[in-house]
């Protein structure tokens, strides 16, 4: 292994993802906002996720250590029934959709994920769980767009759906000024079954 590989890092988080039909349901509600607020930096629909634990920049060599323990954790947890509901903003700039349904189960899953990660010797920022989907960010100096979009989500209540997989995700966030992209490093079926290898 050369010096460059030893020092390589990857930005990592562990998440759940809504199924396509739930994302499509929310996207239909947001469609007018895409047209009326084109300067917003919209997240790609395929990247919408519910973060359970944000691990930050990790040495690439430490990521494989997470795979077996997270696979075991996913197999031990039954799917949760969640829904997308309402919306809001962080700092009047970041638009999000809220999560409804089995929030106690979601808290338990997130706590177990964090325990497993720490058991692998990985240190990470211990942020409180605030279940949401990040949808868009406003440009600096524009706070009215985010507020207006989130107000349009106030009455939104999506259909419930079962969570399917626990995702270990890598991202390029913070590495360039371009759009943020995410990729599954690996995903495991909740309650056992077949996961999706990288």
Active site residues: 49, 132
Give the whole-angstrom CA distance, residue 92 versus residue 148.
10
């Amino acid at each position: 292994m050369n010096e460059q590989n030893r020092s390589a890092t990857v930005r990592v988080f562990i998440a759940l993802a809504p199924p396509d039909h739930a994302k499509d349901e929310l996207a239909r509600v947001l469609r007018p906002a895409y047209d009326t607020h084109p300067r917003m930096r919209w997240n790609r629909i395929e990247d919408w996720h519910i973060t359970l634990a944000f691990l930050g920049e990790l040495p690439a060599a430490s990521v494989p250590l997470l795979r077996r323990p997270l696979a075991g954790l996913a197999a031990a947890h039954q799917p949760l029934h969640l829904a997308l509901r309402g919306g809001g903003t962080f700092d009047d700039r970041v638009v999000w959709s809220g999560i409804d349904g089995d929030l106690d189960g979601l808290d338990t899953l997130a706590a177990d994920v964090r325990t497993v990660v720490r058991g692998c010797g990985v240190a990470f920022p211990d942020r409180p769980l605030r279940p949401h989907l990040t949808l868009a960010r406003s440009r600096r100096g524009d706070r009215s767009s985010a507020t207006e979009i989130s107000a349009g989500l106030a009455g939104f209540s999506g259909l419930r759906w079962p969570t399917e997989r626990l995702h270990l995700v890598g991202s390029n966030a913070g590495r360039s000024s371009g759009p943020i992209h995410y990729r599954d490093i690996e995903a495991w079926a909740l309650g056992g079954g077949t996961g999706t290898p990288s």
